[in-house]
Amino acid sequence: MARVIPPMTEISPTRKVSVVDGNADPAVKEEFGVLEGTLGPDVVDVRTLYGRTGYFTFDPSFMATASCQSKITFIDGDEGVLLYRGYGIDELAERSDFVEVAYLLLYGELPTADERREFEVAITNHTMVHEQLLYLFRGFRRDAHPMAIMVGVVGALSAFYHDSIDIDDPDARKIASFRLIAKMPTIAAMAYKYSVGQPFIYPRNDLNYAERFLHMMFAVPSEEYQISPVLARAIDRILILHADHEQNASTSTVRLAGSSGANPFACIAAGIACLWGPAHGGANEAVLNMLEDIGTADRIPEFITRAKDKQDPFRLMGFGHRVYKNYDPRATVLRETCHEVLDELGVQDEPLLEIAMELERIAVEDDYFVKRQLYPNVDFYSGIILRAMGIPSHLFTVVFALARTVGWVAQWNEMIEDPSQKIGRPRQLYTGYGPRKYTPIDQRS
C-alpha cells in the first residue's frame, strides 16, 4: 500500500520575543514563542496575541504571515531555490516524471518501483469521467473560456462522486485525490475539444500520463495520432514545474475552502478560480498576449517604459514574484525546454521567443527591474512552448491547473490531517462608521 505521510506534529518554541506597548493602559508586555522550521525564516507564534494583548496583527496580503506548517514544498526566494519534499526542482525536471513527482508530493518520499506501479495503476483506473458529465459541457457556449468550463465541471464532480466526499474518511480522501489527479487531463482535453467542435477523445490507459493528455487533446477518430516522445517529455516537464509552490494564492484558497470541511472537488474548483487571475496562473496567457502586442523587438522599449509608469496599469507579464527575488528556477528550465521543443518541431525562428529573450535581456539590466528584483517567473516562457505544441493560449492556464491539482491535493490532505487545523477565519482592522441610528427615508438629504 502507498506510504502514509508522517503526521504533522505540534512544534514547540525555541526562544521568546516580547511585545511591549508602554502607552497602553494597562501597559502591555507579553512574550511569544518563536518556532523554528527546517529551512527558511523562523516564525513568531501569535496564536494567543489577541487573547493576551487585545491586539490583532495586520498583514492584508500575507506579506509576512505563515498560514500553516507544511512539509511539502520550500522556496528560497533570494537564492532562486525550489524544493519538492527536499528534492531540487531542476533535478526532478531532469530525472523524474510527473507521476513520480505526484507520488512524492502526496506521500513525502520517492516511490519504490512497486509503489510507483501501484500508484500509476490506481491513477490510470480513474481517467474516465462519468458519461453524464458530457451533457454538462453542452450548457456552455463553444467560445466559453476553458477556465470557466474547468471551474464549473470540476466543481460538478462533487455531484457525481458522493462516495468520496467524506473528508474525515482517509480512504474517501485517497480516492477523491486519485480521481482529481486522474480526471483533470481528461476534463482539460474535453474543454479544448468542445471549443474546437471536435468529438471528445476517451483516455487511453495504455499511454503514460503526458502521452494520454496529448492524445486526448490532438487525436481525432478519423485517423491515427502519432505522439512525439519529445513533446510528451516536454509537457511532462511542464507539469512537474507547475505541480506545487508553497502557499501561493490558489493553494491558500484550496486550504481555506477545505478548512470549512467543503468537499475536495469544490475546494479544487475554488483553486482553479483563483489561479485564473492574470496576477497568478492567468499570467501565462497574458504573457503571450503581451508578446503578440509587442510584435517586434523595436517596440520593447515602449513596453518597458509603460511597465515602469505608475499611471499605466500595464505590467510586464511573466516578470516579478512575491517570493522569488532572483530568477524563478522554473523559468530557467522552461527557457531551455523552449529551445528543445522548437528544435524538435523544426521551428527555426519563433518571433515570440526572440522578443521574449530580448525583453528579458533588456529588463534584467534595467535599473527599475534590478532595484525591485523583478526577474522572469514560471509564466514567462511556458506559453511559447505550449503554443509551439499547438495548445491555444486560452488553454495555457488550464494546463497550469492540471499540473497544480497535484499540489493542491497534497496540500489539502496535509491540512486535513494536521491535528491543529481549524476553520480559517481572519479578523480585520475596522475603519468604517461607529454605531449610528436609522434615519427614515423622508428625513434623509
Binding-site ranges for ligand SDX (CB under 6 A)? 245, 248, 279-281, 283, 307, 315-323, 372, 374, 377-379
**32 touches 46 (CB < 8 A):** yes
Phi, psi (rounded to 5 degrees) for 27: -60, 150
Q: Please identify, using beta-carbon distances, which residue of 185 and 281 lies nearer to ligand SDX.
A: 281
Q: How far is the CB of 85 from ligand SDX (least distance, A)?
A: 16
Q: How far is the CB of 283 from ligand SDX (least distance, A)?
A: 3
Q: How many CB atoms lie within 10 A of CB 291?
A: 23
Cα–Cα distance for residue pair 34/17, rounded to 1 Å: 7
In 3D space, the residue among 321, 30, 29, 268 whose CA is nearest the CA of residue 158 turns out to be: 268
Q: Please identify, using beta-carbon distances, which residue of 200 and 319 lies nearer to ligand SDX.
A: 319
Q: Please identify, using beta-carbon distances, which residue of 258 and 281 lies nearer to ligand SDX.
A: 281
Reply yes or no on whether 321 is catalytic: yes
Q: How many CB atoms lie within 10 A of CB 60?
A: 9
Enclosing H/E stretch for 272: helix 264-275
Reply yes or no on whether 236 is catalytic: no
Cα–Cα distance for residue pair 86/267, rounded to 1 Å: 26
Q: How far is the CB of 382 from ligand SDX (least distance, A)?
A: 10
In 3D space, the residue among 255, 249, 122 whose CA is nearest the CA of residue 181 turns out to be: 122
Q: Please identify, using beta-carbon distances, which residue of 234 and 241 lies nearer to ligand SDX.
A: 241
Q: Please identify, using beta-carbon distances, which residue of 63 and 196 lies nearer to ligand SDX.
A: 63
Give the residue at shortest CB distance from ligand SDX: 320
Q: Please identify, using beta-carbon distances, which residue of 173 and 321 lies nearer to ligand SDX.
A: 321
Q: Please identify, using beta-carbon distances, which residue of 172 and 359 lies nearer to ligand SDX.
A: 359
Alpha helices in 62-169 (DSSP H): 89-95, 98-107, 113-124, 133-137, 146-156
Phi, psi (rounded to 5 degrees) for 74: -135, 135
Q: Please identify, using beta-carbon distances, which residue of 29 and 372 lies nearer to ligand SDX.
A: 372
Q: Which of 242, 245, 321, 394 is catalytic?
A: 321
Q: How far is the CB of 245 from ligand SDX (least distance, A)?
A: 3
DSSP character string of 282-335:
THHHHHHHHHHHH-SGGGHHHHHHHHH-TTS----TTB--SS-SS--HHHHHHH
Q: How far is the CB of 286 from ligand SDX (least distance, A)?
A: 7
Taking the chain, what is the end-to-end CA distance rounded to the nearest angstrom? 72
C-alpha grid cell, residue 227: 505522439
Task: Please tell me what DSSP assigns to residue 374.
Answer: -
Q: How far is the CB of 24 from ligand SDX (least distance, A)?
A: 31
Residues 6 or more apart whose CB falls under 8 angstroms from that of 192 comprise 146, 217, 391, 392, 395, 398
Q: How far is the CB of 444 from ligand SDX (least distance, A)?
A: 40
In 3D space, the residue among 16, 8, 58, 63 whose CA is nearest the CA of residue 36 turns out to be: 16
C-alpha grid cell, residue 241: 514545474
Q: Which of 236, 328, 379, 418 is catalytic?
A: 379
For 1, 55, 83, 286, 432, the CA distances from 428, given in Å and listed in that order, are: 45, 11, 33, 32, 11
C-alpha grid cell, residue 50: 489577541
Please give the single-letter amino acid code of residue 442: D
Q: Tell me the catalytic residues.
A: 321, 379
